[in-house]
Amino acid sequence: MKMDARKYNEQTMKGLFRKIYPVIAEQALARTGIRTGLCVDLGGGPGMLGIRIAEISDLRVVIVDPLADCIALAQENIDAHGVGEQVSAQQGAAEHLPFTDNAVDLVVSRGSIFFWQDQRQGLREIFRALRPGGWAFVGGGFGSKALREEIFAEKADDAKWNRGRRERVRNNPPEHFQALLAELAIDGVVDSGDEGTWILFRKPESSA
Ligand SMILES: C[S@@+](CC[C@H](N)C(=O)[O-])C[C@H]1O[C@@H](n2cnc3c(N)ncnc32)[C@H](O)[C@@H]1O
């Protein structure tokens, strides 16, 4: 395993970012109303959001990420949190989701869509894999203004991180995601504010 993935897991996901996952998990469940069935944490990395969702709901969770290093770290985190019966980790990418049609109740994805090779195909895949009535909660952010400010203060001297983040924000304004939803004829909203930028949509019951 590459050391940088492990270092990122320890210093960022389990360190500086640790407080954002419980907040975002609550927001995802509150906004979608989904608390049972199958949840996919897409681009879940070491899985902290998916693990938290499992801890506060009856959802079974599959953490999906293209990187083998992340899947190994996710498995370690699953074991450390004692949620092995509810959560698993599987290699895969947004553009080719490893799920059959109409199989997933909730797709959550934080901080990942900005890195997908083909966002349009990824959103199309999410729509395909959702069951009618299932929800997507996809985007990025730090959960609240206070948490964002805390993280920005800690990262103030990290020029590389700030450059990358600003570039991703610049290339992915809410209008960009709104246009993608319109192109795909997906009826959804893009919320942008203190909680982050989140694409929310529900697959209509009539699309079975
Ligand atoms: C900034 S990390 C976010 C990890 C995690 N969601 C979190 O918030 O802690 C971005 C993640 O997106 C994953 N990723 C990159 N390209 C992807 C793709 N095409 N499909 C799914 N995930 C992808 C990366 O491997 C990485 O784990």
pLDDT at 208 over 80: no
d(CA 175, CA 173): 5
Whole-prediction pTM = 0.96
Which residue out of 11, 115, 138 has the highest number of ligand 1 atoms within 8 Å of its CB and is therefore the one to mutate?
115
Task: Report whether residue 115 contacts ligand 1, using a CB cutoff of 6 Å.
Answer: yes
Could you tell me the pLDDT band of residue 131, with boundaries at 50, 70 and 90? very high
Closest ligand 1 atom to Cα of 12: 9
What is the pLDDT at residue 3?
53
State what percent of residues in the chain have pLDDT above 70: 98
Residue 73 pLDDT: 95
pLDDT tier at 207, thresholds 50, 70, 90: confident
Decide whether any atom of ligand 1 lies within 6 Å of the 15 Cβ: no
CB 39 within 8 A of CB 61: yes
Non-local CB neighbours of 98 within 8 Å, separated by 6+ positions: 64, 90, 92
Per-residue model confidence as pLDDT tens digits over 5-44: 777 777 777 788 999 999 999 999 999 999 999 999 999 9
pLDDT score at 23: 97
| 24, 61, 65: residue to mutate for ligand 1 pocket, most atoms within 8 A of CB | 65
> What ranges in 9-133 are assigned the alpha helix state H?
20-32, 48-55, 68-81, 119-129
Domains and CATH numbers, the chain: 5-207 (3.40.50.150)
The arithmetic mean of pLDDT across residues 109-119, rounded, is 98
